[in-house]
Structure 1
């Protein structure tokens, strides 16, 4: 469909003791109530603002009502109540997503998840089949790889030796150190090496689009193969040569085009 005019609304919701920052993009006129809502799930260091204008652009292209939110601990949401993470911390975020969608009375959602957000989206689709109509998983992980750990060690070096903390502070403020250490300490800890969510994949029956840069510094194409090979719903993949971990930024127009077509094909 042609680009739609978009209105924007921000709100804060209280969910299980945490305040979450939300941002909505509405097409004008409002779409039919039975149309799925497009929901964005950010990465391990991300937030609403770090998506930049991509959610709005996809909302314009598809006419879908679109929700972007900061998970607890990130962006403008409340700080982490604990930075001690167990192996199931991403699965718990899938449960939080289900609670949020129920609170907002969103009965059908198409999830666009980047990195950690992609992993959360896959688990949500496996656990909450009646609510999730489709998944776009960009740079998602379903198991730990050596390349992933090497990429995180590089990020730790940059956090200690470059202006990376100052750049992240613009988005996370006083929570910056917690955001970074919660991610890096968890993934680099010995107990996390065995993390694997492949057992969720056969329970996914909705359409899935897997997007990955061929030069992703945090994961190999084995992640894509595992997802596409094990989900039970119709799946497709978009592998982009020369692109790293953030295809929606590094190859924005291509990802917008492919994501729009994928969304349009979902009943």
Structure 2
């Protein structure tokens, strides 16, 4: 999910967008993925600084992050990788007739992210020092990646993640569809996506599909072994504290942060508190 876009697309990620070509697999056709580096170190050894991979929200893209990945990477002393998932930003758009499957987030965690890391020659020893940070749908993908590949990351931070479908989420997404089709929201989002209808309806259609009401990744969380921080705002209009409380019940070592005066997008609503929480958590790890 997302806050309604109101500003021009900007990003402090280093340089212009680059593109990685991913070959077709059983779960997807050939893909062109837009990506950028943050704090790129071209003259340093490839594994000199730990890497943070940022996974955007349900209507996000590289540009929608704005300057937050840069700010956080500087705070952590790490380099970052931001990318637009298929259907978003400048990555391969969703075909007009294509409908995402109920397990689309599992496909992203199991297939797309590892394939991108392979394409960028990020080896296992680098992944073992890598932090995965995801927001909203991206938070769910980060959880699934941490469960599927527990030896291929240092830890995960999930911000306003979804582990099951709440009525509140569906109501908010239905309202967003009405705004998209009756206000200037479509024009605002078009600043961030080459094919804005691909981005919007890929996300909106599956979340509003009756079959998706049964979606849950709760039972998939148990294999998570690496450090895990889950963050939620008290005023999130797309999910309740039940989401991260459920994570803590299934992953006992997970730590929770609940932010006051904060909605669905802490990196925009409460960036100082969010950065403080993430920095303290990451630095506390051995």
Corresponding residue number in structure 2 for 1:135: 156
Q: Could you tell which deviates more after superposition, 180-189 or 82-91?
A: 82-91
Determine if contact 1:133/1:266 at 8 Å carries over to the other structure: no
Aligned-pair distance for 1:157? 1.4
Partner deviation per Cα, 1:70-119 (whole Å, 9 max, x = no partner): 11110011212463111111000002101211232323221110000000
Q: Which structure features the higher share of helix residues? A: 1
Q: Distance in 2 between matches of 1:18 and 1:253?
A: 36
Corresponding residue number in structure 1 for 2:241: 221
Partner deviation per Cα, 1:186-242 (whole Å, 9 max, x = no partner): 11111111000011111101111111111111111100101111115x321111122
Corresponding residue number in structure 2 for 1:3: none
Determine if contact 2:87/2:202 at 8 Å carries over to the other structure: no
Q: Which runs of 5+ in 1 are unaligned?
A: 1-5
Determine if contact 1:118/1:138 at 8 Å carries over to the other structure: yes
Q: Could you tell which deviates more after superposition, 74-83 or 150-159?
A: 74-83
1:215 alignment partner, SS class: coil
Within a 5 Å distance, the mapping from 1:167-206 to structure 2 comes to: 167-173=188-194, 175-206=195-226
Aligned-pair distance for 1:27? 6.0
Alpha-carbon spacing, 1:142–1:8, altered in 2? closer, same or farther (3 Å):
same
Asked if 1:18 is matched to 2:25, the reply is no
Asked if 1:50 is matched to 2:64, the reply is yes
Within a 5 Å distance, the mapping from 1:1-267 to structure 2 comes to: 8-9=14-15, 10-16=17-23, 17-26=30-39, 30=44, 33=47, 35-81=49-95, 83-95=98-110, 96-106=112-122, 107=124, 108=127, 109-173=130-194, 175-232=195-252, 234-267=253-286
Q: Which runs of 5+ in 2 are unaligned?
A: 1-11, 24-29
Aligned-pair distance for 1:255? 0.7
Determine if contact 1:27/1:60 at 8 Å carries over to the other structure: no
Alpha-carbon spacing, 1:7–1:195, altered in 2? closer, same or farther (3 Å):
closer
Determine if contact 1:27/1:63 at 8 Å carries over to the other structure: no
Q: Could you tell which deviates more after superposition, 116-125 or 129-138?
A: 129-138
Q: Distance in 1 between matches of 2:272 and 2:165?
A: 30
Alpha-carbon spacing, 1:199–1:35, altered in 2? closer, same or farther (3 Å):
farther
CA root-mean-square deviation: 1.8
Determine if contact 2:13/2:67 at 8 Å carries over to the other structure: no
* TM score, norm. by length of structure 1: 0.92
Aligned-pair distance for 1:180? 1.1
Q: Distance in 1 between matches of 2:104 and 2:243?
A: 19
* TM score, norm. by length of structure 2: 0.86
